[in-house]
Amino acid sequence: MSLGTTVDDFVERVRRDSLIASRGPVHTLGAAYTANDAQLTIAETISHIGAGSILSVDYEMMYVTAASAATGQVNVIPAYYGTTAANHAEGAVVEVDARFPRAVLLDSLEHEIRSWGNELWRAEPVDLDFNVNHRIYDLAGISGDVYFLLDVRQKPAGDSSSWWNFSWTGDAYPHLDARLLRRMNVVDFPSGYAVQLKQAPTHTSTGRALIAQPLILTSFDSTTDLVNDVGLRTEWLDIAELGVKSRVLNAALIGRSDWRVGSMARDPEAVSALDTVRAVAHFADARQLRFAKAGTDLRAEFPFRSN
C-alpha cells in the first residue's frame, strides 16, 4: 500500500487505527444524495438510527429528525455542526454517531499543522538581480509571511565553468552575508520584505535568496495534497498523525458524554478512560520527540539562517 499524501488519504489512515474506530453501526446510502436535501435513503435495514442521531457521510455531518425502518428513509438537517453541505454518491458510507467523524479529523489535522508555527516550515527560493553598489533588494513575487532568511547566493563573475558544481538553482554559488528586513515601504519594496547585504556586490549578476515561509493552509479540504499543496515533507506525516490522534482522543476524554446515540442506550466504551489517558500521553510524547527532531534536522540544513 503506497503512502498517499492527500488529506483524504491521511484521514483514512487515522481511521484505520483501532482507537479511532466507529462506535455505532455503519450503513451505506441506497441512492445518491443531493446537497441540502432534507431526506436520504439507507440501503440496509436501519439499525439504531432515530431522532437525535448524528450521521457522518464523507465530510458532512447530519442531524436526524426522524427515521423509518420500513422504508429506509431518514429525515435530516444537513450541514450540521458547521460542516459543509455536499452531494454524496450512492453507496457512500453512513456512520451512525461516529466516534470521530471525518470532519473532526480534518479539522484536527489543520489545527495540528497550524500549531507548528515557525518550527517547521517550507524553504522558498527568490531570484535576485544584483547590481554594483546596491545593498538592499526586494523579495519580489513572494506572498505571505517570511519567518527567516536562510541563505543568499550570487553567481560569480566570469565563466562559471571555471567553478565547481554550479547549478541553475544557484545553491552552489558563493554565499553572501545578509539579513532580512521586515515591514518595508511597499512603494519601494512591494513584498514588504527585503534582503540587505553586508557588502555591496562587486559585479552585476544574478543570484538567489532562500527564505523560510509558513506551510500553505489557505485552502484545506479532503483533496488537498499535504506534500505538494501544503509543503509538508513526507517524513513529517507521522508527526501530523501522532498529533491528530493525541488531539482527538484528548477531546474524547473531555466530552465522553457527547456523540450519544439518540435511539438506543449508550454502549459501554471498549477502551476505558484510563487507557485513553495513557494513549493520549503516548501519542503526545511520541509526537513531541519526532517534532523536536524534525525541527533540529531542518535548522541544521540551513547553517546561514538569519532572523
Whether residue 266 sits in one domain with residue 247: yes
Residue 284's pLDDT band, with cuts at 50, 70 and 90, is: very high
pLDDT of residue 179: 96
pLDDT of residue 21: 57
Whether residue 248 sits in one domain with residue 178: no
Residue ending a domain, among 213, 228, 243, is 213
What percent of the chain is modeled with pLDDT above 70? 85
Whether residue 113 sits in one domain with residue 256: yes
SS3 176: coil
pLDDT of residue 133: 86
Dist. CA 115–CA 117, nearest whole Å: 5
Dist. CA 107–CA 199, nearest whole Å: 47
Dist. CA 116–CA 240, nearest whole Å: 10
Lowest mean pLDDT: which of 28-32, 230-234, 249-253?
A: 249-253
| Mean pLDDT value across the chain | 87
Whether residue 295 sits in one domain with residue 258: yes
What percent of the chain is modeled with pLDDT above 90? 69
Whether residue 113 sits in one domain with residue 181: no
pLDDT at 85 over 50: yes
Average pLDDT for 70-92: 97
Whether residue 256 sits in one domain with residue 221: yes
Residue ending a domain, among 213, 248, 283, is 213
Residue ending a domain, among 47, 79, 96, is 96
Whether residue 30 sits in one domain with residue 13: no
Tally the residues of the chain.
307
pLDDT of residue 292: 97
Residue 198's pLDDT band, with cuts at 50, 70 and 90, is: very high
Reported pTM: 0.86
Whether residue 207 sits in one domain with residue 165: yes
Whether residue 127 sits in one domain with residue 183: yes
Whether residue 299 sits in one domain with residue 232: yes
For residue 204, how many C-alpha atoms fall within 13 Å in the half-sphere facing its CB?
2
Whether residue 18 sits in one domain with residue 108: yes
Q: Domain count for the chain, please give it.
A: 3
**pLDDT tens digits along 105-149:** 999 999 999 999 999 999 999 999 999 989 999 999 898 999 999
**CA 297 from centroid of its chain's CA atoms:** 20
The parent domain of residue 127 ranges over 122-213
Whether residue 10 sits in one domain with residue 48: no
Give the closest residue to 14 by CA, choosing from 116, 118, 119, 112. 112
Dist. CA 22–CA 222, nearest whole Å: 19
Give the closest residue to 6 by CA, choosing from 232, 227, 239, 248. 227
Dist. CA 165–CA 116, nearest whole Å: 35
pLDDT of residue 249: 86
**CA angle in degrees (0–180, nearest 5) for 134-136-139:** 130
According to DSSP, the β-strands at 122-130 and 26-28 are: unpaired
Rounded to the nearest 10 degrees, how much is the dihedral formed by the CA atoms of 271, 277, 282, 287?
A: 110
